[in-house]
Amino acid sequence: MLKNIPPILSPELLKVLCEMGHSDRLIISDGNFPAESMGKNAIVIRCDGHGVPELLDAILTVFPLDTYVEKPVSLMEVMKGDTVETPIWDTYKEIIAKHDPRGAEAVGTIERFAFYEEAKKVYCIIATGEKALYANIMLQKGVI
């Protein structure tokens, strides 16, 4: 056990977060995201019993967001014609505001298939059991 480290962050996940350098990106994915196929060139960490918000909050406790880009946080856009509501995005923005002074201004969106292309380039994908749709979130690491 370590002091001041959220217990939801496993030793494996802490190691990966520590290994990441400036501008490296990670995805915290919902339960429907194709983590294994998108993450063929990434480290995939399974956190199936957890939701995205609780992991996002814990990760941002130790993970600085990139201050050299306008939007270090990216969400997968809802497909045109899809009527899915995304209240979880508001939750993400509240969590981000706790950890970064830019708050919601640090958050952008990426078209679904462009998000998948970017997912193939990330350092790590954290696969959760999150049931909300369009709940995938990409974070770009900054410096301390």
Kindly state the greatest CA–CA separation across the chain. 47
Q: Is 22 a catalytic residue?
A: yes
Rounded Cα distance, 61 and 31, in Å? 23
Can 116 be counted among the known catalytic residues? yes
* Residue in 30, 66, 100, 134 annotated catalytic: 66
CA distance 137 to 26: 8
Task: Give catalytic status of residue 50 as yes or no.
Answer: no
- Which residues 6+ apart lie within 8 Å of 52 measured at CB? 28, 29, 30, 88, 92, 128, 130, 132, 135, 136, 137
Mind telling me the catalytic residues?
A: 22, 66, 116
